[in-house]
Amino acid sequence: MKLVVGLGNPGRKYAETRHNIGWMVLAELKQRYGKTQPKEKFHGELVEAEVGGEQVLLLAPHTFMNRSGQSVLAARDFYKLSEDELLIVCDDFSLPLTKLRIRPGGSSGGQKGLADIVCRLGHDQFPRLRMGIGPVPENWDPAGFVLGKFAKEEREDVSALVTAACEAVTVWTLEGMDACMNQFNGDPAP
């Protein structure tokens, strides 16, 4: 069993913002692979899915970004999952739009949701898929940037990025971390 967690903020105000791109990926994964209706569980929304015969849980924490670890810890502990069975999908404004970066562990890089997950789990050795939403324009506050919506001219790139991220999750689920890193850590998404 795998647990894929897409980070974002609940509420209409945050829908389709850069910070919620993790939720956009979950929505696409639900369409592709979902087997159950969403359930309120673990301080979030949980959907059971199946990817190539592998059971995958899709979790969208409803705790707001800065407290994502509460939801992740509850789900991980309930299902008794190891860290390599967990994948966090989140935004990264230090990566250019359309760029993916998957890693088996490492620092939060300033991403508040990842920082809370690191704090709650007590370590940073869990897989994460970072999705480029940057760069932050000069003289912009990064917090305002990530909470802003994508521009009309960015929508095609965002759609391609979400599609590429779903493919990365599929490869991670079926073939593992090394195969996923080899395939998706190179050039920007098509």
Alpha-carbon gap, residue 118 to 141, rounded angstroms: 24
3-35 pLDDT tens trace: 999 999 999 999 999 999 999 999 999 999 999
* The two three-digit tokens of residue 175, written as one number: 């073939």
Alpha-carbon gap, residue 33 to 52, rounded angstroms: 9
Active site positions, annotated? 19
Closest Cα partner for 10 from 59, 58, 65, 47?
Answer: 65
Helix or strand run (H / E) with residue 44: strand 44-51
Among left, alpha and beta (phi > 0; psi -120 to 50; other), residue 39 is beta
109-150 pLDDT tens trace: 999 999 999 999 999 999 999 999 999 999 999 999 999 999
Peptide bond into 135 cis (omega under 30): yes
Which domains, and CATH codes, for the chain? 2-184 (3.40.50.1470)
Against a cut of 0.75, is the pTM above it?
A: yes
Mean pLDDT of the chain: 95
